[in-house]
Structure 1
Amino acid sequence: MISKEKSMSEYSLKEVSSVALSAFWNIMDQWGVESEHQISLIGIKTDLSSDDLKEMNVSSLSSEMVARISLVLKIYKYLEILLPNREQSRVWINKSNDAFGGETALMVILADNENGLLTVAEYLNSQFQMPNTALDKKMQKEYILILILEWVDSTEDALNWYKSEVPPALGMTPLQAVECGEYRNVLKYIEHISLGGYA
């Protein structure tokens, strides 16, 4: 059974590895974010360049920085699922979008940092709920794992839940449900639990 113990933004600093920090800088480069905006986005007030900051140790991150990195990684993962072509993802983040009043997603993010990140993450998350969003079973699995990672300590725990847990509401494992075409029932179950419901 799942227990919603903590969200990504509440992870301890030790749980955010140097790999995640490195991924953040790589994503910034892929999105074409200028050096000064990279520093602002991660929440660092310093005269150092982003190149200098890429050498920083994970232990020097504050909880707010961890939250921002987590949101950037989540947005990147959402785009990776919705737009598997990396170039499409890069174009989307820099393309004018009616959902953001004609601004680009990157403009929204940079204008309000953490709140902007939340706005874009929530918008992308809503796309998975749209009836006309076509996801193959692999993409469905990846999205479910993103949701479950909010509640567990590792990708391994999320995978174990996906493959082995049998929620009474589903009567089968989430893996079996997805294979049987019951993907949306898995989403409904996860939403039910996230709102404080019983399994």
Structure 2
Amino acid sequence: MLSVERAQLPSDSAKVSKSALRTYFNIVNTWKLNVDEAMTLLGLDSRSTYFKWKKNPESAKLTSDKLERLSYIFGIYKALQILLPNIDSADQWIKRPNSALPFQGKSALERMLTGHVADLYVVRQYLDGQRGWS
């Protein structure tokens, strides 16, 4: 019988959590997201967990789902900074209606707020395509 081991964080997972969540909360502030939006992007249901992680990020035990979500969000943020060198334009892009096929007139943030990690992937893939990284 084959067994597949789950990907695990290195033994310094507290440092990884701290760095990743600090970066995430900086992006949340930059994008001017409210608590509910920030929780949805991260896949959290518990406000107490959200505020605990915000106050003490090294206490977080990030699952592979959370790490995947963070990876997509970081990639989206970076791609926007490259595609739209004007900082304000880059930071506001996620909230602007978009006629591109993946968005169908809605904003990228609306797409990402479905709560599905696949929608974060779609936004990241779209931006990578715009950068010429298919």
TM-score range for the pair, normalised by the shorter chain length: 0.7 to 0.9
Alignment-derived partner of residue 68 in structure 1: 69
Give secondary structure in 1 for the equivalent of 2:48: coil
Q: CA deviation at 1:11?
A: 6.3
Larger radius of gyration: 1
Say whether the 8 Å CA contact 1:13–1:66 is kept in structure 2.
Answer: no
CA contact (8 A) 1:13 1:59 kept: no
Give the superposed CA RMSD. 2.3
Pairing 1:20–2:20 present: yes
TM-score (norm 2): 0.79
The structure 1 segments of at least 4 consecutive aligned residues displaced by more than 4 Å after TM superposition are: none
Give unmatched runs, 5+ long, in structure 1.
1-9, 130-186, 192-199
What is the CA deviation profile of residues 105-137 of structure 1, one whole-angstrom value per residue up to 9, with x for unaligned ones? Answer: 1111002431111110000011122xxxxxxxx
Mapped partners of 1:80, 1:11: distance in 2: 30
93 and 11 in structure 1: CA distance in 2 versus 1, 3 angstrom threshold? farther
Asked if structure 1 preserves the Cα contact closer than 8 Å seen for 2:40 and 2:115, the reply is no
CA contact (8 A) 2:17 2:62 kept: no
Distance 1:64 1:103 in 2: 25
Give aligned-pair identity as a percent: 31
- SS of the aligned residue for 2:116 comes to helix
Residue type at the aligned position of 2:85: P
Give structure 2 stretches of 5+ with no counterpart: 1-5
- Confirm or deny: 8 A CA contact 1:31 1:90 kept in the other structure: yes
How far, CA to CA, are the matches of 2:75 and 2:117 in structure 1?
Answer: 13
8 A contact 1:93–1:105 mirrored in 2: yes
**How many residues get paired?**
122
Partner of 1:118: 121
Match of 1:88 in 2: 89
